[in-house]
A and B are shown apart, each in its own frame.
Chain A
Amino acid sequence: MIKSVVSKEYQELQKEIIKLQEKWKLQLDPETIRPNLDKAAMEAGVPVAALTAIDFEISLFLQWVEEINALIIKSIPELEPKLAGIASLLNEEIAINWIEEAFAFNHLYFASFAEENGLEEWIPQFLAETALRPYLQLTAEKVQNEIHRAVPGAGCPVCGEPVRLAALEDEGKKVIHCPRCLAHWHAKRLECSHCGNENHKTVQFLTIEGDSVSQIQVCDECNGYIKIIDTRQYISQPSAALLDLNSIHLDFVAQENSYNVVGEKKQTN
């Protein structure tokens, strides 16, 4: 219902994928995920997922990949010829590789995998990432009570995804949501999540005329940005993944203004 630059069909597809991930998450035995909450490592910015032992069930992972395939083909029939061959390519060994490389967000591996097998570049990583998320989300759910803040620049304290989305809640509390693992944590209202800059002169806000709920927080120290959405104005609270998708126009605006998804501290000579 919320107006978005994203097409209705694609929003519907994403909603279905999120529903599937919810369903898959419930199929997982919580005992297969054993986080090791090392305080020192967490304070240094090591994501919890890297400190967690997860027993992946390969057959389940393969089944999920097939389910996503079926869903995409149902929603966008033109993609069928491009996706049809995937099932025969996948075996246990490749699935293990996919999980590991998706976990590490190794896009180079997936790009070369796609090239070797004559697939379009987006396909392998998209499928692997989508099927991996239920594990990350369950991990986040398990440790959510221990996640209070993040180390600036280290990304999501659970899965390591760069910070890019915050919501304003309650009396204006800035809560950062990870659209990948759905973990959330509190951040200072005037702090760059990429470099920790707290200088009010260099942390600025861009707003879009006619968009009363969104702002882009930009940092002139590291040139990074995050999107801040006042979700208190929404009638019903959308999930972080959908919020991230529907606010994609903010990413365009920020990047056109030469700000980056991940901030980088300028080198001083």
Chain B
Amino acid sequence: MSERAAEISPAEDEQDDDQITDSAAPDAATDTTSESETTLDPVTTGAESVVRALENAGVEYAFGVQGGAIMPVYDALYDSDIYHVTMAHEQGAAHAADAYGIVSGEPGVCLATSGPGATNLVTGIADADMDSDPLLALTGQVPTEFVGNDAFQETDTTGVTTPVTKENTFSSDSDRVGSDVSEAFALAREGRPGPTLVDLPKDITNGETDREPDAPNVPDTYEVQERADEEIVAAAAERIENSDRPALLLGGGVIKGEASEACREFAIEHEIPVITTMPGIGAFPEDHELSLEMAGMHGTGYANMAITHCDTLIGIGTRFDDRLTGGIETFAPDAELVHVDIDPAEISKNIYADYPLVGDAETVVEQLSEAVDESPEAKKWRAQCQQWKSDYSMAYDAPEDEPVQPEFVIEALDEATSDRAIVTTGVGQHQMWACQYWTYTEPRTWVSSHGLGAMGYGLPSAIGARIAADDDQEVVCVDGDGSFLMTLQGLSVAVREELDITVAVLNNEYIGMVRQWQDAFFDGRHSASDYGWMPEFDKLAEAFGACGFRIDDYDDVAETIDAAIAYDGPSVIDVHIDPDANVYPMVPSGGDNGQFALTEDQL
């Protein structure tokens, strides 16, 4: 059925589908569909068709919040094997589904009602859009006859979400609504992943239909190039072979494209130093000698030196965001760029690609592997990179008589957990420390809001990550006090669902990153960044039914973290860190990566 769907044009659609219906008498359907479907009852309503589409796509979990216009879909879910996690807020539903998508590789599904339900999803959808995370959002809508009349809880959801979705659809036919959901699911996953949304008017989901949804396929106007042009591959390979100062830059696309293994092999075989972007964390083991870790605004000094001085930069699955590049004029100014990306629009968008390689990351890296015969002679360059690693060490000062330093806490959490532990974060200083001081070795273990920078991402994403993760993977949310306050109602979900997560709130009673910038760029005027007071998060956790811990001194750190990780259920550690701690190195906005500051007076 899927192949036929791809072949027919919309004009023939009606007719063709009639034929399918005709031939799809119960016995015929058994022949053409998978075995699991044989036991399912035929659909009778649009809502059942929506749920059937999700089941056919292999969806096991959904995250959402009930409400008027989405009620028919929830009613259909009642009979489904799909496990629904009832969230405390729709923003949390979108972030949880997003994290589920990051960890599992399959689109996470979130549901919300019309109006405020849909608008509350928007932050999470925008986050998925910026980070190319596979996400399917289903929103209820007022009945079609009310649309456009400013009805109760009516919002133009497709209008609001067009700029932040890969594709969205207003469903207008009970016979088609299931297939709309199938197609949106496929679009969220295929090619460059991203968020899709289907808006579901109540009369359409309530409407009668006996039409089974089409299989989850992308429309025929959507084409994805898998293999890069062989001539450009050959030219890029020659450039790499002749390079004196090569560097690999691995982005989030490496992880999404399941290319981490291929990249590791390529880097190790040719002894090319490896830098990652923030979403690329985990694509290459940070404990490997070739790893220079993350570059950019708060990247390591050695990664920023290497990216600034390399003569050949092999960027894979990265969009050269401004937090990575700093000022364009001074970004890798001596480097010829080999740019691998599945989205042609990312090629030469921000940084001109001398060797544009459009295609799937894993496929193209394998093409490059085949084409590169000789490793570049870069012994001197590798020695230089090692020298930078020692010159710009990330070692920090942690005197016993000062408040607890946040870096120490991150290292202790890393120490207390396995290599496959998953870290989620909010946004701010704590997020940067979690990047810098946790040693990541596996893909899909770093879950964060990179492009959008959405405070409040940490706890709901830990919920989604927990559900997608294997049982032996710990899930640790490194949060800030400001970020945690934004979505901590999600604790009620974690407790109800008995989710084993550990939230470590690095509490400095500031919006710390803003405070750091105010000290550096606004004469220390702490406008609206100084909370001055925070609730006691350990007691708050207890009130929710979670397990609360508190750390004030270095002596408490190891023991408390061990106890919190060992607790089988949600735990929260309120970690009172040094309120004056700052994140370094730092490249100011639009600055030169090679001129990163190591102290405030260098900014």
Does A associate with B in a complex? no
